Amino acid sequence: MLRIAVLVSGGGTNLQAVIDRIEDGTIRNTEIAMVISNNKNAKALERAEKHNIPSCCISPKDFESREVFNKTLLRTLTDLNPDLIVLAGFMVVIPPEMIRAFKNRIINIHPSLIPSFCGTGYYGLRVHEAALARGVKISGATVHFVDEGTDTGPIILQKAVKVKPTDTPEVLQRRIMEEAEWQIMPKAIDLIAAGKVKVVDGVAFIEEETA
C-alpha cells in the first residue's frame, strides 16, 4: 500500500481528483495518510474532513521564523513517513533539507508543459497569463519529481491542451485542470504505487505495461 501525504494551500481541486480516483479504484493500492495545508482556511482541509482523511495546518504565520516552520514541517512528515509526498497546489517553497530527506519521493503538478512557463515566478494564473501573452497554441500540465531547483526535477508525465483564441487566463486554467492536471496527477500516483516509475541519472522512466 502506497501511503501518501498531500500538501495543499487552497481549493484542493487536485486533491479532490486524487481522492475520487482512489475511491473509484483508478488509483490502486494507495491511501492518503495525511493532508497538510499551510492555510487554515483552505477548502482542501474541508475536502479531507469530508472523506475522513487526517489533516492539519502548519502555517509559516504561526512560527517565529521560516527556519522553525521548515523544521516543524519536516518533523511532521518524517514522523508520518509517507512513501510519497504530493504537492497539489502547495504555495510554499520546499526547504532543501526536506527534498534531501525525501529524494525522488516528492512530486508536483505544474500547469504548463515544462520547460515552458516554469521556474521562479511562474505559478497560478501567472503561468496562463504568460502563455496567452506569448501566443502559444498548445499548453498543458506536467507532473514531475521535486529537486532543489524550481520545476527542474525529473518529468514523469505531461499532457497537452489546446489554447483557444478566446481564452482568458481563468478559462485556460480551468481547461488545463480538467483536461490535464486532474488526469495525469492520479495516473502518476498509480504508476508510482505500481512500482513502474524509476529515476536514473536525473531522468524518470516509466515501465511499459506488458500484455
Residue 72: count of CB within 10 angstroms of its CB: 15
Q: What is the CA radius of gyration of the chain?
A: 17
Query: Rounded to an integer, what distance in angstroms lies between the CA atom of residue 167 and that of residue 171?
Result: 6
Pairing of strands 197-200, 203-206: antiparallel
* Active-site residue, 128 included: no
What DSSP state is assigned to residue 10?
S
Q: Which of 51, 110, 128, 144 is catalytic?
A: 110
The residue to which cell 502548519 is assigned: 58
Q: Are 93 and 149 contacting, i.e. CB atoms less than 8 angstroms apart? A: no
The answer for residues whose C-beta is within 8 angstroms of residue 125's C-beta and 6 or more apart is 169, 170, 173
Helix (H, G, I), strand (E, B) or coil at 40: coil
Q: Which residues are catalytic?
A: 110
